[in-house]
Structures are given as C-alpha cells and as structure tokens.
Amino acid sequence: MSLRVDSISKSFPLPSSLTDTLLRRRRFFHALKNVSFEVDEGEFFVILGPTGCGKTTLLNVIAGLIKQDEGRVFLNGECIDHLPPEKRNIGMVFQDFSLFPHMTVAENVSYGLRARGIKGDEARRRVKRVMDALNLRGLEGRMPSSLSGGEKQRVSLARALVVEPSVLLLDEPLSNLDAQTRNTARSELLRVQKELGVTMVYVTHDQMDARLLADKVAVMRNGTIEQLGEVREVFEKPKTSFVAAFMNLGNILSGHVESLNPEGGVTKVNVNGVLISAPYRRDLSIGKQVNLLVKPEDVILATSKPMTSARNVLEATIVNLSFQGPLVRVTASAGPIQVDAMATRASVEELRLDLGQKVYLAFKASAVHILD
C-alpha cells in the first residue's frame, strides 16, 4: 500500500537552563522540518542519514509513536493521524530486534495475531508461512536468548510480517549484526520483500544498505530531506556536497567559478589555483563558490602524459596506495589538491606505481559534477 508523508515537522523542547527559566525562554530542537515524500506500493524506500538527522523520529511519527507538530501522514490516500499505533497496521522492526525474552520464537511470531484475535488454524497457517519464508523452521520452541544475531533479526522480521502490515518500517535492522551476517541478512530481506510484496521504509546510516536494497532513497540531514530520488540517480548525480560526502562518492574539490563558456559548454573552476573544467550550468556566475565531485572510478591514471580528449589532465605525485581487494585506491596530490583514483591491481603492477611516483590524472569535464 502506498504511503505519503506531507510536510511533517516536529520539534522537541530542550532542557532549559536557569537563564532560560528566568527569561521565560523555551528552546527547541527541530528534529523534522517540513519533510515530504511518497512511497509506492511494494516499493523499498531507504532513508539515509547520519545519527541525529531525524530519521528515527520520522519513523516514529509514521508509526504513530510520536505525534508530529505539523503535517499529515496518509496511507492509501487516507489520513491516519488520528489513529493510535495499534490501529494503523504499520509494522515496525527496531535496531535491537526487541524480541520478547519471556516468549518462545513461535509465541513471539504469533504475538501480533493473538493481539488481533486471530487464532487456531488461520494463525498456524500464517505463522508457518512467514517462518518458512524466513528459514526459521525448527526454531519454534527456542527462547530468544539462545538465538544468534542473524536468527534474532529474522524472527523480529517474521513477527512484523505475520500480521501483513500495510507498510513495514525498519529502524537500522542490520546495524547490530557482524559484517558477514549483515550481507546474508540484506539479500534475505530483499528476497522476502519482493516475494511478499511488502512496502518497506528502511532507515539507515549505511550507504551500502541504500545501494543494495533501495528502489528510492531519501538522504536526510538536520531534519530535512537533502535529496530524494531513484537510487541510481542519487548515487550518480548527488545534488549537494553533503550527499556526495556522506555516501562516500569520491573527491570533493572546493573552488570558485573562474570563467563560463556557454558555447563550449564548459565552466572553469579555480580550485586553489588549479583550473578544473566542468560542464556549463546556466545558474552559475563568475566568482561563485562551488564544490565539485570527481568520482575515483572516472579518473584515468597514466605514467606519461596521455593522449586523451579528457579536458582535465593533472600532473601529480602518488602519496598513498590502499589495496581494497581487486582494486587499489591511488591517492595523488597535484599541487594544492589531492585526488583519489581507482585502478585495478593488475594495472598498478603493470604501471609499476609506487609512492612518490609522478603520474598523470585525466578525467573528462563531463565526469565533474557541480554540487550545490
């Protein structure tokens, strides 16, 4: 079912100091500022942002656990603001899994059914269905304390799914798992989501989650949505330097516009004295401060000056080589600026790249993204 969040705002009172009390002043922390988005039926929507950006508050507002100051929440076109959490049919999975420690796995999973008065064969059939879907067969009689992290995560997911919620909200459900379990759990989650066609809103600070799971992504910062869009679009064309930096997309260079050439479609940006060519944009003016994103995978490394159509060719010295599996992240400094480039292990060996070596970094003007 589709979910629409319409200009939600929420602020919390801050603890007041003595002077605040004397001046009759109340201070607020604005957790959410005018947040709007829409999630379509069956969509996997990821809200990505650092700690304290308001993403958990947003989930709590949708679930009805916190009342918003302004704005409305719609489920299938109907406003649900007046409904208490138990009447919204919105599932929630918490970071700590929140399995009821005094109940067995089966009792945990069927809790929502009991709360809704669903018993007997119907309950057994539905419990079996989700337990099968999440590979939990054989764990029915176990207590939560005897389960592994991955099993706990699957049980908490099964418990939320058994009541067939209109929307399932997940608050960093994988962050308590070790790296290996997290990978398995991630693909499991995606499989179950597609299999059962559940609409999911997933909150995380891990850009890998967004990259691998999301249909759509909203990047949040300080209570507002910084960028919203299809996952590919957000990763390929981040709008702001915050989005680019938070998702660890690559080199961010700050400079000011030196010259604009609408005919050639080129903007020249002065980055600490080094001129970088970027695509032309109409809204820029000379002297304006801009941030540029150059992704490491778009930078070509060469030991001699390359014959290339790329407009940006920088002479640089290698200052660091970081081996990441089959790839090597080569950090080279070209005068005042530092640029990371990606190379395969094979090419690093072929070019005999080493620290202190002189290299040429080449990238096209079209590979430079101008960020807001």
Residue 51 found at the interface with other proteins (CB under 8 A): no
Choose which of 5, 61, 92, 201 interacts with other proteins (CB under 8 A).
92
Mark 52-71 with x for binding to other proteins (rule: CB under 8 A) and - for no binding: -----------x-x------
94 bridge partner residues: none
Closest CA to 184 of 231, 151, 159: 151
Contact positions with other proteins (CB under 8 A) in 154-173: 156, 159-160, 163, 169
Site stretch for other proteins (CB under 8 A), options 95-103, 143-151, 240-248, 269-277: 95-103
User: Please, what is the minimum distance in Å from the beta carbon of residue 368 to other proteins?
Assistant: 45
Instruction: Tell me if 74 contacts other proteins by CB under 8 A.
Output: no
Stretch that binds other proteins, among 97-105, 134-142, 146-154, 322-330 (CB under 8 A): 97-105
134 binds other proteins (CB under 8 A): no
The two three-digit tokens of residue 121, written as one number: 């064969």
Q: Is 32 in the site for other proteins (CB under 8 A)?
A: no
Closer CB to other proteins, residue 100 or residue 323? 100
**Among residues 36, 98, 135, 254, the one that binds other proteins under rule CB under 8 A:** 98
**Smallest distance, other proteins to C-beta of residue 195, A:** 21
Name which position in 40, 41, 78, 86 contacts other proteins (CB under 8 A).
86
3-state SS, 148-199, equals CHHHHHHHHHHHHHCCCCCEEEEECCCCCCCHHHHHHHHHHHHHHHHHHCCE
- Binding other proteins (rule: CB under 8 A), the pick from 25, 26, 27, 116 is 116
Our CB check for other proteins shows the closer of 57 and 331 to be 57
Of 164 and 258, which has the nearer Cβ to other proteins?
164
Q: Which stretch binds other proteins (CB under 8 A): 98-106, 180-188, 204-212, 313-321?
A: 98-106
Distance set, CA 311 to CA 282, 308, 314 (Å): 20, 8, 10
**In the complex, what is the shortest distance from the CB of residue 64 to other proteins, in angstroms, rounded to a whole number?**
8
Residue selected from 49, 54, 112, 238 as contacting other proteins according to rule CB under 8 A: 112
17, 40 Cβ separation under 8 angstroms: no
Which of 37, 74, 111, 280 binds other proteins (CB under 8 A)? It is 111
Q: Which long-range contacts (CB under 8 A, 24 or more apart) does 142-145 make?
A: 142/104, 142/105, 143/101, 143/104, 143/105, 144/97, 144/99, 144/100, 144/101, 144/103, 144/105, 144/108, 145/101
Which residue from 372, 312, 311, 297 is spatially nearest to 342, judged by alpha carbons?
297
Return the ∠ at Cα 128 (arms to 124 and 133), rounded to 5°.
155
Answer yes or no: are the C-beta atoms of 367 and 277 closer than 8 Å.
Answer: no
* Helical segments of the chain, H only: 18-22, 55-63, 105-109, 111-115, 120-133, 149-161, 179-196, 207-213, 231-236, 241-246, 345-350
Which residue ranges make up the site for other proteins (CB under 8 A)? 63, 65, 84-86, 88-92, 94, 96, 98, 100-102, 111-112, 115-116, 156, 159-160, 163, 169
